[in-house]
Amino acid sequence: MLRLQKFLAQSGLGSRRFCEQLIKDGTILVNGKVAELGSKVTDTDDVVHAGKKVLLKTADLKVIMLNKPPGVLSARKDEKKIKLVFDFLPRTHNEPDWIAVGRLDINTAGLMLFTNNGTLAHQLMHPSFEIDREYLVRARGNFDEQKRKNMLAGVEIEGEVYKFSDIVPGEKQSSNQWFSVCMLTGKNREVRQLFESQDLEVSRLKRVRIGPIFLPSTLREGACINLTEAQIKELQEYGK
């Protein structure tokens, strides 16, 4: 027997806090009646959300990493028949429905994580957990200390403040320069827009780390591997 909010979270609806709010909003039915906060259920109870039966997931917690190639879309479906990240994931009858932990835009390569656990996915994506991400960037243009300070202090772009938590200039190649940058958020095209705000044009972008998980240099583009139990535990504890 489980508390209802834990049951909902383990079923993949979201974090316990989110599931608790669903109960408070009266959107959860248990055996045909509106559920109350604090109630307990078993897997034999009829739990319904948004007209659909909620099933407790019994699969072991799994997380896989993918080295996403550029030109691949971070989505499940696309009418234009563009290659999707889910096309690269394991597909056997025993595999779970993978949840993408954040996205990368179509031209960005590198580390993506997928899990079969909705609670963990929510934890890794929600800004309150402050899971940092690291990227390698190649950009064209003149870079100086003032631009570095601007990107660390924060730049307002279309009403939102974007900023890096760290930026380390690297090797210069003609008019291009490499950078290692870190940030605590994952808004769409955030890295590119920050560089563009300082008149720097990004020509290559690759995510190499999410929290404690680094992209192995040996993992080829388009390949994926399972995280170890130790790595998954690190993810669960990171930022708490």
Q: Confirm whether 60 is a catalytic residue.
A: no
From the list 87, 105, 144, 166, the catalytic residue is 105
3-state secondary structure the chain: CEEHHHHHHHCCCCCHHHHHHHHHCCCEEECCEECCCCCEECCCCCEEECCEECCCCCCCCCEEEEEECCCCECCCCCCCCCCEHHHHCCCCCCCCCCEECCCCCCCCEEEEEEECCHHHHHHHHCHHHCCCEEEEEEEECCCCHHHHHHHHHCEEECCEEECCCEEEEEEEECCEEEEEEEECCCCCCHHHHHHHHCCCEEEEEEEEEECCEECCCCCCCCCEEECCHHHHHHHHHCCC
Active site residues: 105
